[in-house]
Amino acid sequence: MDIYRRAAFYLIFICTLSCQQKAPVYNELPLSSVNIENLRRESMVVFDVRSPQESRKQEILGATRIVWEDFLEISPSDMGKRLEQLMVTPDKTILILGNGSKGAGEDGYIAWIFDIFGMQSVYTLTPEFYLKSGFSAISPVSKKSWRPEADPNLFIDAVDFRAYVTQSLPRREWTSKARSQALGGAPLGAFYPPPKSFFGVKFPELQHKVLVLDVRSQKEFETHNLKMEKAVKAPLLHLPWDEFFDDRGLPSFLVKSRLKDLGIQEGSTVFVISERGVRSGAVAYAMRSLGYQKVVNYLGGYRQWKNE
């Protein structure tokens, strides 16, 4: 009888172990794994945004060098002019090679620029993963003419950013001409233009719905952040930018759970801020790649905020 009881016990024990549900392991971005396979079959225009020293040390055959600093602290219209000089068109698959989360966000920033100008297929990868994966199909740069136009919903200037985070209309200096026009009966609204609308929603409806995401390092955030400013009313969240990319240089699927914990949904309107718009641009690109379409980069960053 003891033998039967013992056998029954072992059967129950084995069944219990086999029936236990294993926790899911997210070691690869599902969409990314599909895209990687697609990339192996596509012709790509490859840009290397690393420093000249790094590029010479690990040369990528067929890649075009981009001096990413040329796209720094300039207006979107000037970005478009420089993008036009690269002679690529929106139908091309673009691959940006950089240092990923070990860098300063430069590859993601350049990918963001391609993104806001309407490029449909833009990817970031580290050179190591690029070489390891056997990519070799590199297309020549197109000679077609293209007039890049940036999507105005995806970036914000200093005046409008301040209006949204303080949830108040901006104050502007009146010129002598403006004063004389006002005294002559000109409407006051002519001199206090409303803040820019985003995604079809105007300032009065959107101002209390915007979330601000600071993506600088923990040390930078603790040293100074917008919540230390009395005028700031918008919710401020923090998540370091390097958590948005995996070790291959791809947007990380794992960050979606972190964003959810912060209260950021795919439909949320998020203004991203870093020191000067580079890391925030990289995060904006990563988030849009992961399905968050209402992500706006504050190009000026804290550097501009402090100088205003």
Q: Is residue 121 part of a domain?
A: yes
In a domain, residue 47? The reply is yes
Query: Are 182 and 86 within one domain?
Result: no
Q: Is residue 11 part of a domain?
A: no
Q: Which of 118, 135, 150 is the last residue of a domain?
A: 150
Residues 74 and 113 in one domain: yes
Residue 8 within any structural domain of the chain = no
pLDDT of residue 38: 64
Predicted confidence at residue 23, as pLDDT, reads 33
Specify whether 78 is located in the same domain as 212. Answer: no
- Sign for the CA dihedral angle at 136, 41, 245, 209 comes to positive
**Total number of domains constituting the chain:** 2
Identify the pLDDT of residue 306: 85
Sheet holding 211-214, edge to edge: 155-156, 295-298, 270-273, 211-214, 236-238
Residues 298 and 194 in one domain: yes
Do 223 and 178 share a domain, yes or no? Answer: yes
Within 10 angstroms of residue 265's Cβ, the number of other Cβ atoms is 12
Whether residue 255 contacts residue 244, with contact meaning beta carbons closer than 8 Å, is answered with yes
65 and 182 co-located in one domain: no
> Do 162 and 302 share a domain, yes or no?
yes
Residue 219 tokens read as 């040390």
User: Three-state SS string across the chain, please?
Assistant: CHHHHHHHHHHHHHHHHHHCCCCCCCCCCHHHHHHHHHHHHCCEEEEECCCHHHHHHCCCCCCEECCHHHHCCCCHHHHHHHHHHCCCCCCCEEEEECCHHHCCCHHHHHHHHHHHCCCCEEEEECHHHHHHCCCCCECCCCCCCCCCCCCHHHEECHHHHHHHHHCCCCCCCCCHHHHHHHHCCCCHHHCCCCCCCECCECHHHHCCCCEEEECCCHHHHHHCCHHHCCCCCCCEEECCHHHHECCCCCECCCHHHHHHHCCCCCCCCEEEECCCCHHHHHHHHHHHHCCCCCEEEECCHHHHHHHC
Exposure b/e, 41-52, CB count within 10 A at least 16 = b: eeebbbbbbbbe
The two structure tokens encoding residue 53: 């020293």
User: If pLDDT is split at 50, 70 and 90, which confidence band does 259 have?
Assistant: very high
Q: Give the end of a domain, one of 97, 130, 150.
A: 150
214 and 133 share one domain: no
Query: The domain containing residue 287 runs over which residues?
Result: 153-307
**pLDDT at residue number 25:** 30
Whether residue 165 sits in one domain with residue 261: yes
Whether the pLDDT of residue 188 is over 60: the answer is: no
What CATH number does residue 288 fall under?
3.40.250.10
**Of 126, 150, 174, which marks where a domain is finished?**
150
Question: In terms of pLDDT, which residue wins out, 67 or 171?
Answer: 67
- 86 and 121 both lie in a single domain: yes
Residues 122, 73 share a domain: yes
Mean residue pLDDT of the chain comes to 83
> Are 288 and 262 contained in the same domain?
yes
10, part of any domain: no
pLDDT at 30: 40
